[in-house]
Structure 1
Amino acid sequence: MSSDDDGPGPALSRNLVYLLKHAQLRMTELTTNALTPFGIDGRELGVLLALTGREPASQQQAAQRLGIDRTTMVALLDALEGKGLVSRHPHVEDRRRNVVELTDAGKDTLQKATEASDGAERQFLAPLSPQAAEQLRNSLRTIVIPPGS
């Protein structure tokens, strides 16, 4: 049985922190469910995405792209390396730098996991019109990504 006390109420329904938090929780739930068959989570997918489409990156470059600290990046790369999805090796010209590359299994997992993640995004955005979904994405991009990036 439902009452007027169910739901967040008018004050929380307008509170941006509440709305962003619960949107993020819902998106995380959908993404986690979509990625589970591939043995990775959303953070690991982010690392794979940060490593693709560019020249081989150092651990530090990948961490900077994702906006995470070096220790967290090392832990994520250790997990992905343990799953056979990335490999690390010294840079040819600067042996102090570790270069990180996707393995063939990593490329395959990235392709399949990206398709699954895209499906989760479509499910998340389904209540919106295509125009409203694109406007939301563009607005968040404007807020999150610094100009010129």
Structure 2
Amino acid sequence: MTRDVPPEVLASRLGYLLKHAYLRLTEESARALAPHGIDGRELAVLAVLDAHDELSQLEAAGKLGVDRTTMVALIDALEGKELVERRRSPHDRRKNIVRLTSSGRERLRDAELARQEMERRFLAPLSSTDAGCFVRALQSLVGTPANADQASDSA
């Protein structure tokens, strides 16, 4: 796919470059995840749920930085695909605990491999050293610890 070269006046503007890099990344992510029947936001939900033993919908929403309504829609979609299940918390019946199903764990594993390969291809124009520096620089800008998992929600 041929990409248009940015107008010279915009070629060094951070906002322009970040926006277009993000748009390209989301396109690549959508293509990589499509065979797995999920999108980048759904993959992020699965990853967060997998990383924690027990999260309520509200707690998961907080970790993902999404509002309650969006989280309900994401969980509804994933539940419809039989990738997650809601259960009442045994400690607080007002809370729904969301957990991955066995299908959800399998889909997460396969989709994560696809995401990692897509990110490797996306960063291929950079040397491995530069790619690592780029990710660490972005982590600094968004306030993520440098040793955090390099997973992105691509959304």
Amino acid at match of 2:121: Q
> Which residue of the partner structure matches residue 56 of structure 1?
54
Name the larger-Rg structure: 1
- Whole-angstrom CA distance in 2 between matches of 1:68 and 1:74: 10
4+ long deviations beyond 2 Å? none
Counting matched residue pairs gives 144
> Which residue of the partner structure matches residue 43 of structure 1?
41
Question: How far is 1:144 from its partner?
Answer: 1.1
Q: Mapping of 1:118-133 within 5 angstroms?
A: 118-133=116-131
| Deviations 1:101-141 (CA, angstroms, capped at 9, x unpaired) | 00000000000000000011001000000011001100111
Q: TM-score, normalised by structure 2?
A: 0.88
Structure 1 unmatched runs, 5+? 1-5
Question: How far is 1:146 from its partner?
Answer: 5.4
Identity %: 51
Secondary structure, aligned partner of 1:40: coil
Of residues 75, 78, 82, the one that matches 1:80 is 78
> Which residue of the partner structure matches residue 88 of structure 2?
90
| Deviations 1:45-79 (CA, angstroms, capped at 9, x unpaired) | 01111111222111011111111101000000000
Residue 117 (structure 2) pairs with residue 116 (structure 1)? no
Question: How far is 1:30 from its partner?
Answer: 0.9
> Which residue of the partner structure matches residue 105 of structure 1?
103
- Whole-angstrom CA distance in 1 between matches of 2:84 and 2:94: 19
Q: Please, what is the CA RMSD of the aligned residues?
A: 1.6
- Whole-angstrom CA distance in 2 between matches of 1:93 and 1:85: 24
Secondary structure, aligned partner of 1:88: strand
Question: How far is 1:7 from its partner?
Answer: 2.3
Q: TM-score, normalised by structure 1?
A: 0.92
Of residues 64, 67, 73, the one that matches 2:65 is 67
> Which residue of the partner structure matches residue 18 of structure 1?
16
- Whole-angstrom CA distance in 2 between matches of 1:108 and 1:36: 15
- Whole-angstrom CA distance in 2 between matches of 1:50 and 1:95: 22
Amino acid at match of 2:135: R
Structure 2 unmatched runs, 5+? 149-155
- Whole-angstrom CA distance in 1 between matches of 2:5 and 2:104: 42
Amino acid at match of 2:78: L
- Whole-angstrom CA distance in 2 between matches of 1:136 and 1:81: 35
